[in-house]
């Protein structure tokens, strides 16, 4: 379980996250939505230790994130970014192999085997020797998802995984994510794709101005949102 207690985050004098109290359970699929600038990206970056917090506490299974070494943390949680974040100078295969070898000290042969298995699951094994700039946006994002999953984390965090894609690629990547979350991994997904959110989420969190203004079971969020505008203010 991931727990955030009274978390706050400032950039300079700007309070970007205020009094955030949330828990994310194992195998739970949570969608975060809310207007641009409301703190969604900052929130998920604090969860995997990419942004230090200014107040409160974040823990994994009761252990404070500050006490978890980065290599151990990356076994708990993987992340997928809007702009893919692939290593441009490495092949698709090495994008999955290098983190396993460097971060988790897996030997190369085992890492290659796991990488190909994970790429196959996302329909990308045939592209293993290509470089990222030889792939479409949708293909890049499927590689990024494969990379996030190859170390078998308990949770995966997605920050607007389809918002940099051409519209015809969006469905592809959403189906890949849907398949992954059905396999029982915990997921926290920042997205404006509300039909997708309705289909896959157990819970929806709505943020505004650095605060959680609603955290509801998915069926309640979509059937009786606290404010209709909240749902509609998500673009698209």
Positions that interact with ligand ADP (CB under 6 A): 11, 16, 36-42
- Is residue 41 a contact point for Mg ion (CB under 5 A)? yes
Task: For residues 100 and 114, give the distance between their C-alpha atoms in angstroms, rounded to a whole number.
Answer: 9
Q: What is the DSSP string of 214-225?
A: EEEEHHHHHHS-
Given ligand ADP, Mg ion, none, residue 139, with its beta carbon under 5 to 8 Å by kind, binds none
Q: Which CB, 112 or 190, lies closer to ligand ADP?
A: 190
Q: How far is the CB of 43 from ligand ADP (least distance, A)?
A: 7
- Residue 135's CB: how many other CB atoms inside 10 A? 18
- Closest CB to ligand ADP among residues 39, 99: 39
SS3 49: coil
Q: State residue 54 phi and psi, 5-degree precision.
A: -100, -15
Angle at 108 (CA atoms; ends 105, 111), nearest 5 degrees: 80
Which residue has its beta carbon closest to Mg ion?
41
Whole-angstrom distance, CA of residue 29 vs CA of residue 17: 22
Q: Which does 39 bind (CB under 5 to 8 A by kind): ligand ADP, Mg ion, none?
A: ligand ADP
Residue 162 interacting with Mg ion (CB under 5 A): no
Q: Which is nearer to ligand ADP, 42 or 91 (CB)?
A: 42
Binding site for Mg ion (CB under 5 A): 40-41
């Amino acid at each position: 379980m991931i727990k955030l207690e009274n978390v706050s985050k400032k950039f300079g004098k700007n309070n970007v996250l205020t009094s955030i109290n949330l828990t994310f359970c194992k195998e739970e699929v949570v969608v975060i939505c809310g207007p641009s600038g409301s703190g969604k990206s900052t929130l998920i970056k604090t969860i995997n230790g990419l942004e230090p917090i200014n107040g409160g506490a974040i823990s994994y299974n009761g252990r404070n994130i500050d006490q978890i070494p980065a290599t151990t943390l990356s076994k708990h949680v993987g992340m997928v970014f809007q702009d893919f974040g692939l290593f441009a100078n490495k092949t698709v295969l090495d994008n999955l192999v290098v983190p396993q070898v460097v971060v988790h000290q897996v030997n190369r042969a085992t890492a290659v085997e796991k990488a190909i298995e994970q790429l196959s699951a996302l329909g990308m094994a045939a592209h293993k020797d290509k470089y990222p700039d030889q792939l479409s946006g949708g293909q890049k994002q499927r590689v990024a998802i494969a990379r996030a999953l190859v170390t078998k984390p308990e949770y995966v965090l997605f920050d607007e995984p389809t918002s940099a894609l051409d519209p015809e690629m969006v469905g592809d990547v959403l189906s890949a994510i849907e398949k992954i979350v059905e396999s029982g991994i915990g997921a926290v997904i920042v997205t404006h794709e509300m039909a997708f959110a309705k289909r896959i989420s157990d819970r929806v969190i709505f943020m505004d101005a650095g605060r959680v203004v609603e955290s509801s079971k998915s069926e309640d969020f979509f059937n009786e949102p606290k404010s209709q505008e909240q749902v509609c203010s998500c673009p698209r």
